[in-house]
Structure 1
Amino acid sequence: MLNLIRNEHMKIYRRLRTWILGGLLIVIVVLAALFSHSGYSTNDDNWKIRAAESIEHNQKELENPDVPAKFKQKMREDIALQQYMLDHNYPPTDSTLWGGTLSAAGLIIMVTLFTVIIAGDMVAGEFTWGTIKLLLIRPASRAKILLSKYLTTLLFAATLLIVMFITSLIMNGFLYGFQSLNLPHLTVNAAGQVREGSMLVYVFATYGLKLIELIMIVTMAFMISTVFRSSSLAIGLSIFIMFAGQIITLLLMRYSWGKYFLFANTDLTPYLEGQPLAEGMTLGFSITVLLFYFLLFIVLSWEIFRRRDVAA
């Protein structure tokens, strides 16, 4: 199995396209960090002034009887957070390296896109290049061959994700400074008390949940690659579904059964803030739905590849 995975890695990394995608990802992360930092003020007291003004504004709004109770609760939480930040001299996360690193999590869609391009080529490419027969005459079973290709795809995705995270952390560290490494992640509990947590754990949780989304879409792209003999068609269809899925989700969420749609559950990060996409959806529900689709994609990939006639 290790030899098969090693061979698949060689196929990926000996192609110029792979290195171009990797370099492009680094450039995108660097440019995004520079663009975000361009509006950053170097005056350390600015955030304190804004926080004090926000507290004063929210306190006045709390006295307004026309403001809904739900919004008042959010205002109380904001007041507690901003007052705690002022009391302990904690700057807003947005103006630190952690803010930039968290913002970079939104660029995981680029990691997904680049991995989809590779995944769409993993099986269909063997038919396009005419190398599928040479691959299947090896002693290894079809199951091991397919598994090695899938694991290699996931390892490639993990590599891109690590490169993106490290690049973002270093770049934002140089832009904002590394003095905020020990900055805590602040939350407000049900009693209105501010709690300090590990920012590193929160960042890893954000990236970890994004990784689940990445795995699901890549698995879908890999399944599509086993269906078609044309790598171009497999890649194109995978990219189309990847972007169209979000639009379709917005349309389907008007119906009660829309929450069972794959792309309604792929992004799990809203659960970190307690804000699910739709009422009644929970983290456990979304994970269950994703597990169903994951098993479906894996079974379809295996059955199609196992039955595939390579005589043509």
Structure 2
Amino acid sequence: MVNLLLNENMKIYCRLRTWMFVIGLVLTAIGFLVAQQYSVKPFQVANANWTVNMQKQILNDKQMLANMDRGADWRTHVTNRINVNQYHLDHQIPPTEDTLWGNVLQAADLMIVVTVLTVIIAGDSVAGEFTDGTIKLLLIRPVSRSKILLSKYVSALMFSFLLFIVLFVSAFLVSGIMHGFHNLGAPYVYASSDGIVHETNIVQHSIVTYLYQAVQMIMVVTLAFMISVLTRSSSISIALSVGIMFAGTSIVGFLAQFNWAKYYLFENTDLTQYLTGSPNVHGMTLPFSVTVIIVYFILFNALAWTVFKKKDVTA
């Protein structure tokens, strides 16, 4: 099994494409964070005026609540923002977005880039072997098909976690250069769905946010791997996986109004919804989402294993 893993990793890392992905991810993280810094606050100098800015934001939000009515969800969102900003002022806690960890949290959005890059590797893992005809060279070895498939799947996941670490480290270093490495222990302040303001450790919150984001990455990669087994075309498996991911996540907000949507995969893969106690669908809980994810995970892998063990490779 170890030799199979080494062989699959060699196939991944000996290709120029892989290292272009790694370098591209680092450059994307740098560009994203620099753009965020200068597009959101182009004229603000350091954090000297954050209290004035926050007071203005609270005043504007209160005026909006008094003069506009866009529904209960909007009013709850604005009210929570007022409560959080007031908590920052009362306890003299700098806003999260003005700290190193604030930028690191923003860079978590780039986990979708990590997912797409890994999908390309996973989608090509099995289907590429059939396309090139090299699958026969693997199957003549004195090892079971299950071990061959497992080595490919584990190698794809290992690559995804390499990109995961590259993104986190890049975001941390770039954010530190832009904001400085002070305020590392500043707390993270948020309002839960009941409107109560909470304070938590921002380092822990950032790490958990990335780990929760990785759950969706693992599920999409597993889906891509399954499609790669079901088809003989790398391009089809990659296109289908990426298409399902974007289409699936884009309708999450729309489906949230239906109670049955809690069984929909992409309503559950974003576990960050539980960090602030605001699930997408009323009644959803973290254990429930984890259970749904495990069921889909087993289903995807069982289908991939069953098909691969019976797949005809003589054509």
Query: What's the TM-score, normalizing by structure 1?
Result: 0.90
The range that moved more, 55-64 or 178-187, is: 55-64
Return 5+ residue gaps in structure 2 as ranges. Answer: none
Q: Does 1:114 align with 2:141?
A: no
Q: Contact between 1:184 and 1:196, CA under 8 Å: does it hold in 2?
A: yes
- Cross-structure match for 1:32: 32
Query: Paired residue for 1:169, among 164, 167, 172?
Result: 172
1:210–1:82 Cα change, 3 Å? same
- Matched position secondary structure for 1:123: helix
- Cross-structure match for 1:53: 56
Q: Does 1:305 align with 2:308?
A: yes
1:32–1:62 Cα change, 3 Å? closer
Instruction: Give the residue type in structure 1 aligned to 2:36.
Output: S
Write the distance in 1 (CA, Å) between the matches of 2:195 and 2:257.
Answer: 33
Write the distance in 2 (CA, Å) between the matches of 1:277 and 1:160.
Answer: 28
Deviations 1:23-67 (A, max 9, x none): 111111100011011143214332111222344556778899x89
Matched residue count: 312
- Cross-structure match for 2:14: 14
Instruction: Give the residue type in structure 1 aligned to 2:262.
Output: K
1:73–1:23 Cα change, 3 Å? closer
Write the distance in 2 (CA, Å) between the matches of 1:254 and 1:197.
Answer: 30
- Cross-structure match for 2:267: 264
- Cross-structure match for 1:128: 131
- Per the TM alignment, residue 259 of structure 1 is displaced from its structure 2 partner at its CA by 2.5
Deviations 1:203-235 (A, max 9, x none): 011011101100000000000011111222211
- Per the TM alignment, residue 270 of structure 1 is displaced from its structure 2 partner at its CA by 1.5
Q: Does 1:243 align with 2:233?
A: no
- Per the TM alignment, residue 77 of structure 1 is displaced from its structure 2 partner at its CA by 5.1
- Cross-structure match for 1:217: 220
The range that moved more, 278-287 or 101-110, is: 278-287
1:261–1:49 Cα change, 3 Å? same
- Cross-structure match for 2:94: 91
Instruction: Give the residue type in structure 2 aligned to 1:93.
Output: T
- Per the TM alignment, residue 197 of structure 1 is displaced from its structure 2 partner at its CA by 2.2
- Per the TM alignment, residue 74 of structure 1 is displaced from its structure 2 partner at its CA by 6.2
Instruction: Give the residue type in structure 2 aligned to 1:22.
Output: V
- Per the TM alignment, residue 251 of structure 1 is displaced from its structure 2 partner at its CA by 5.0
CA RMSD of aligned residues (A): 2.7
- Per the TM alignment, residue 84 of structure 1 is displaced from its structure 2 partner at its CA by 3.8
1:185–1:249 Cα change, 3 Å? closer
Return 5+ residue gaps in structure 1 as ranges. Answer: none
- Cross-structure match for 2:299: 296
Q: Does 1:183 align with 2:186?
A: yes
Write the distance in 2 (CA, Å) between the matches of 1:52 and 1:12.
Answer: 52
Q: Does 1:154 align with 2:157?
A: yes
- Per the TM alignment, residue 142 of structure 1 is displaced from its structure 2 partner at its CA by 1.0
1:196–1:20 Cα change, 3 Å? same
Write the distance in 2 (CA, Å) between the matches of 1:274 and 1:243.
Answer: 25
- Cross-structure match for 2:85: 82
Q: Contact between 1:61 and 1:67, CA under 8 Å: does it hold in 2?
A: no
Query: Paired residue for 2:277, among 270, 274, 278?
Result: 274
- Cross-structure match for 1:142: 145
Write the distance in 1 (CA, Å) between the matches of 2:137 and 2:230.
Answer: 19
Write the distance in 1 (CA, Å) between the matches of 2:102 and 2:293.
Answer: 29
- Per the TM alignment, residue 255 of structure 1 is displaced from its structure 2 partner at its CA by 3.7
Percent identical: 47
Write the distance in 2 (CA, Å) between the matches of 1:255 and 1:86.
Answer: 38
1:70–1:111 Cα change, 3 Å? closer
Write the distance in 2 (CA, Å) between the matches of 1:281 and 1:301.
Answer: 29
1:221–1:49 Cα change, 3 Å? same
Query: What's the TM-score, normalizing by structure 2?
Result: 0.89
